[in-house]
Amino acid sequence: MKWKSILFFLVVLFSSSKSTGQSEIDRYKELALQHAYKEEFPQAIAYYTKIIDTNPKDSTAYYERGLLKYNVKDYIGAVDDYTEQIKKDPSQADYYFMRAMAYDKLNNNKAAIVDYSKTIQLEPSNSDAYYFRGLKKMALKKDKEALKDFDLAIAKRADNVQAITDRALLKAKKHQYKSAIADCNQAILIDPLFHKAYRARGYIKTLTQDFQNAVANYDQAIALDSKNPDYYQERGLLKIQLNQKESGCSDLKKAIESGGKNSVAISLTYCK
């Protein structure tokens, strides 16, 4: 979650929680928001700690501090704060969803699935909860369950292009190439600027040995996201396979320059 989104949440929460007789806490929250706006997150977190110390029963302080901790990648601290918030009010889907996101970052797939499931129980229309739960089930090699979750995510929000694209990749894993390509086409029709769908379609075209069209899709992906090392690396390998070694090695060089982790070894293998 980007810091601007977190700041928006904090502003909404603060505006809805102000009450008479809370002047000291209100001042701390205002100062916390000021620091968050300046991206001074440790200072903002410190003010939320003061709020909790002043009034441990504050209705949303743990959740708001958890959002800030999540933003600075203190995922263990975020989990702890979300857990405290859930103890105070176990009826809010957002609390479980954000704790699931933090568990996700900690690679605790099983705990994340439990919290995404609780989110869905409390908010059945939450498309993202189905989608992220599907990703975690994929990580646990529960592909059939993951596919069902992707289907549900799309049913809840037909324009969820990320879910449509990842469903395509899962279908491709099961050799359902025609349906996978159809999903990519659908995602691109919904959002022509969604570069991941072009990359996915390029990858699936590669699996079906339609190399020329695969390259064309990687061209489109790179035009939309010119700093992604994976796109250059995958296109480079395709070009080398098409006997376009010079151009392919040029792509591998760009992948290295963009931070590709495996690109150096691959380049040494194919571009001597």
Which tens digit of pLDDT belongs to each residue from 27-64?
Answer: 998 898 899 888 899 999 999 999 999 998 888 999 99
What would the pLDDT profile of 168-193 be if each residue is shown by its tens digit? 999 999 999 999 999 999 999 999 99
- For every residue of 117-183, DSSP letters joined together read HHHHHH-TT-HHHHHHHHHHHHHTT-HHHHHHHHHHHHHH-TT-HHHHHHHHHHHHHTT-HHHHHHH
**What distance lies between CA 113 and its chain's CA centroid?**
15
Please say whether the dihedral angle defined by the alpha carbons of residues 173, 178, 179 and 181, taken in this order, is positive or negative.
positive
Q: What is the pLDDT of residues 201-225, one digit of tens each?
A: 999 999 999 999 999 999 999 999 9
